[in-house]
Amino acid sequence: MKMRILGNSGLKVSELCFGTMTFGGDGYWGSIGKQTQNDADTLVGIAIENGINFFDTADIYGLGESERRLGHFLKSRREEAIISTKFGVRVDNNGGTF
């Protein structure tokens, strides 16, 4: 996997970033977030084994479930990952923003 330096941070990240929007959710997010914790663990493990260290998530993905599932896998491997997360947009369980 080719790596790049992220801006002026000095962090080396994989050229490919793994998006985690499909990692769980109910209501509005149920149609998108079909990946179980076991699915998420398998997919993140495969990504890391293949040199991907850059992961994208957001607090609205699955109403926080994406971050929880990614964190569950990475809790004992945190030094192997760079996590990019977004915040600020609030969505209720029916897909409405507030």
Active-site residue list: 61
C-alpha 75/C-alpha 9 separation (Å) is 23
C-alpha 18/C-alpha 1 separation (Å) is 13
Residue tagged 């923003």 (tokens) = 97
C-alpha distance from residue 26 to each of 5, 68, 93 (Å): 36, 14, 7
Q: Which amino acid is at 13?
A: V
